[in-house]
Amino acid sequence: MKRIVLALAAMSLVAAPAMAQNAAQVEAAQNGASCPHCNLFQADFNNRTLKGKNFAGARLRQSDMGIGIFNGTTFAGGDLRDINGSGALFGHVSFAGANLTNANFVGAYLEHANFRGATLDGVNFSGAEMSTATGLTQRQMDQTCGDETTELPAGLRIPRCVQH
Protein backbone atom coordinates (compact mmCIF):
# COMPACT_ATOMS: atom_id res chain seq x y z
CA MET A 1 0.00 0.00 0.00
CA LYS A 2 2.82 2.38 0.88
CA ARG A 3 4.37 1.81 -2.58
CA ILE A 4 1.09 2.58 -4.31
CA VAL A 5 0.73 5.87 -2.43
CA LEU A 6 4.33 6.82 -3.28
CA ALA A 7 3.80 5.88 -6.93
CA LEU A 8 0.62 7.97 -7.12
CA ALA A 9 2.36 10.92 -5.48
CA ALA A 10 5.26 10.68 -7.93
CA MET A 11 2.87 10.48 -10.91
CA SER A 12 1.00 13.58 -9.75
CA LEU A 13 4.25 15.54 -9.68
CA VAL A 14 5.14 14.47 -13.21
CA ALA A 15 1.66 15.31 -14.50
CA ALA A 16 1.51 18.70 -12.77
CA PRO A 17 0.85 21.57 -15.20
CA ALA A 18 3.48 24.25 -15.80
CA MET A 19 3.24 27.18 -13.42
CA ALA A 20 1.19 29.86 -15.18
CA GLN A 21 1.97 33.55 -14.83
CA ASN A 22 0.72 35.55 -11.91
CA ALA A 23 -1.64 38.05 -13.58
CA ALA A 24 -1.46 40.56 -10.73
CA GLN A 25 2.35 40.53 -10.80
CA VAL A 26 2.37 40.89 -14.59
CA GLU A 27 0.02 43.88 -14.45
CA ALA A 28 2.07 45.56 -11.71
CA ALA A 29 5.30 45.05 -13.70
CA GLN A 30 3.69 46.30 -16.92
CA ASN A 31 2.70 49.43 -15.03
CA GLY A 32 6.26 50.08 -13.89
CA ALA A 33 6.68 48.20 -10.61
CA SER A 34 9.84 46.29 -9.79
CA CYS A 35 9.01 42.64 -9.29
CA PRO A 36 11.94 40.53 -8.02
CA HIS A 37 11.26 36.78 -7.90
CA CYS A 38 7.87 37.26 -9.59
CA ASN A 39 6.21 34.84 -11.99
CA LEU A 40 6.00 36.83 -15.24
CA PHE A 41 5.84 33.83 -17.59
CA GLN A 42 4.88 34.89 -21.15
CA ALA A 43 4.33 38.50 -20.07
CA ASP A 44 3.88 41.14 -22.77
CA PHE A 45 6.43 43.92 -22.26
CA ASN A 46 6.55 44.76 -25.97
CA ASN A 47 7.27 48.45 -26.57
CA ARG A 48 7.24 49.22 -22.81
CA THR A 49 9.62 51.51 -20.93
CA LEU A 50 10.77 49.87 -17.69
CA LYS A 51 14.05 51.59 -16.81
CA GLY A 52 15.91 50.88 -13.58
CA LYS A 53 13.59 48.10 -12.40
CA ASN A 54 14.42 45.03 -10.31
CA PHE A 55 13.43 41.72 -11.86
CA ALA A 56 16.19 39.73 -10.14
CA GLY A 57 15.26 36.06 -9.89
CA ALA A 58 12.00 36.60 -11.79
CA ARG A 59 10.53 34.03 -14.15
CA LEU A 60 10.24 35.85 -17.47
CA ARG A 61 10.37 32.79 -19.70
CA GLN A 62 8.84 33.34 -23.16
CA SER A 63 8.13 37.01 -22.40
CA ASP A 64 7.97 39.53 -25.23
CA MET A 65 10.32 42.45 -24.58
CA GLY A 66 10.71 43.45 -28.21
CA ILE A 67 11.45 47.15 -28.87
CA GLY A 68 11.14 47.88 -25.13
CA ILE A 69 13.42 50.07 -23.03
CA PHE A 70 14.95 48.32 -20.01
CA ASN A 71 18.10 50.39 -19.41
CA GLY A 72 19.53 49.99 -15.89
CA THR A 73 17.26 47.06 -15.00
CA THR A 74 18.47 43.93 -13.21
CA PHE A 75 17.44 40.49 -14.41
CA ALA A 76 20.19 38.81 -12.36
CA GLY A 77 19.50 35.15 -11.65
CA GLY A 78 16.25 35.25 -13.62
CA ASP A 79 14.69 32.70 -15.97
CA LEU A 80 14.68 34.47 -19.34
CA ARG A 81 14.63 31.39 -21.56
CA ASP A 82 13.02 31.94 -24.96
CA ILE A 83 12.40 35.69 -24.48
CA ASN A 84 12.02 38.04 -27.43
CA GLY A 85 14.31 41.00 -26.86
CA SER A 86 14.64 42.01 -30.51
CA GLY A 87 15.29 45.70 -31.05
CA ALA A 88 15.09 46.39 -27.31
CA LEU A 89 17.36 48.65 -25.27
CA PHE A 90 19.18 46.79 -22.49
CA GLY A 91 21.94 49.29 -21.70
CA HIS A 92 23.62 48.87 -18.29
CA VAL A 93 21.40 45.88 -17.35
CA SER A 94 22.46 42.88 -15.30
CA PHE A 95 21.89 39.42 -16.70
CA ALA A 96 24.43 38.00 -14.22
CA GLY A 97 23.62 34.37 -13.50
CA ALA A 98 20.43 34.51 -15.59
CA ASN A 99 19.30 31.70 -17.88
CA LEU A 100 18.92 33.23 -21.35
CA THR A 101 18.73 29.94 -23.29
CA ASN A 102 17.30 30.52 -26.80
CA ALA A 103 16.72 34.23 -26.21
CA ASN A 104 16.32 36.48 -29.26
CA PHE A 105 18.42 39.66 -29.07
CA VAL A 106 18.37 40.44 -32.81
CA GLY A 107 19.18 44.13 -33.21
CA ALA A 108 19.20 44.72 -29.44
CA TYR A 109 21.29 47.36 -27.67
CA LEU A 110 23.29 45.59 -24.95
CA GLU A 111 26.07 48.09 -24.23
CA HIS A 112 27.50 47.79 -20.70
CA ALA A 113 25.23 44.78 -19.99
CA ASN A 114 26.63 42.32 -17.45
CA PHE A 115 26.51 38.68 -18.60
CA ARG A 116 28.76 37.21 -15.87
CA GLY A 117 27.78 33.58 -15.30
CA ALA A 118 24.73 33.79 -17.59
CA THR A 119 23.61 30.75 -19.60
CA LEU A 120 23.60 31.79 -23.25
CA ASP A 121 22.96 28.50 -25.08
CA GLY A 122 21.18 29.16 -28.39
CA VAL A 123 20.99 32.96 -27.99
CA ASN A 124 20.73 34.92 -31.26
CA PHE A 125 22.76 38.14 -31.11
CA SER A 126 22.48 39.01 -34.83
CA GLY A 127 22.88 42.77 -35.25
CA ALA A 128 23.24 43.33 -31.51
CA GLU A 129 25.35 46.23 -30.21
CA MET A 130 27.32 44.79 -27.30
CA SER A 131 30.92 45.96 -27.70
CA THR A 132 31.04 47.19 -24.08
CA ALA A 133 29.17 44.24 -22.51
CA THR A 134 30.97 42.67 -19.56
CA GLY A 135 31.32 39.22 -18.05
CA LEU A 136 31.29 37.44 -21.41
CA THR A 137 33.62 34.53 -22.10
CA GLN A 138 34.48 32.85 -25.37
CA ARG A 139 32.93 29.66 -23.97
CA GLN A 140 29.60 31.48 -23.55
CA MET A 141 29.84 33.04 -27.01
CA ASP A 142 30.56 29.66 -28.62
CA GLN A 143 27.02 28.60 -27.61
CA THR A 144 25.39 31.62 -29.28
CA CYS A 145 25.16 32.94 -32.82
CA GLY A 146 25.26 36.29 -34.56
CA ASP A 147 26.07 37.84 -37.91
CA GLU A 148 28.52 40.25 -39.52
CA THR A 149 26.76 43.23 -37.90
CA THR A 150 27.02 41.91 -34.32
CA GLU A 151 29.31 44.24 -32.34
CA LEU A 152 31.28 42.23 -29.76
CA PRO A 153 33.73 43.13 -27.01
CA ALA A 154 37.36 43.04 -28.17
CA GLY A 155 38.84 39.56 -28.33
CA LEU A 156 35.56 37.67 -28.61
CA ARG A 157 34.10 36.03 -31.69
CA ILE A 158 30.66 34.62 -32.42
CA PRO A 159 29.54 31.73 -34.64
CA ARG A 160 27.33 32.73 -37.56
CA CYS A 161 23.64 31.91 -37.28
CA VAL A 162 22.51 29.23 -39.69
CA GLN A 163 19.60 30.20 -41.94
CA HIS A 164 17.06 27.41 -42.55
| Domain residue limits, the chain | 45-156
Question: Model pTM greater than 0.85?
Answer: yes
CATH topology of domain 45-156: Pectate Lyase C-like (2.160.20)
28 pLDDT above the threshold of 60: yes
> Which letter does DSSP use for residue 135 in this model?
S
Mean pLDDT taken over the chain? 91
17 pLDDT above the threshold of 70: no
Comparing C-alpha atoms, which of 146, 49, 65, 147 is closest to residue 98? 65
d(CA 35, CA 159): 34
Tell me what pLDDT residue 57 has.
98
27 pLDDT above the threshold of 50: yes
d(CA 10, CA 33): 38
Residue 148, exposed/middle/buried by CB under 10 A (0-12, 13-18, 19+)? exposed
Comparing C-alpha atoms, which of 65, 109, 106, 107 is closest to residue 84? 65
Tell me what pLDDT residue 46 has.
98
Q: Find the mean pLDDT for residues 76-80.
A: 98
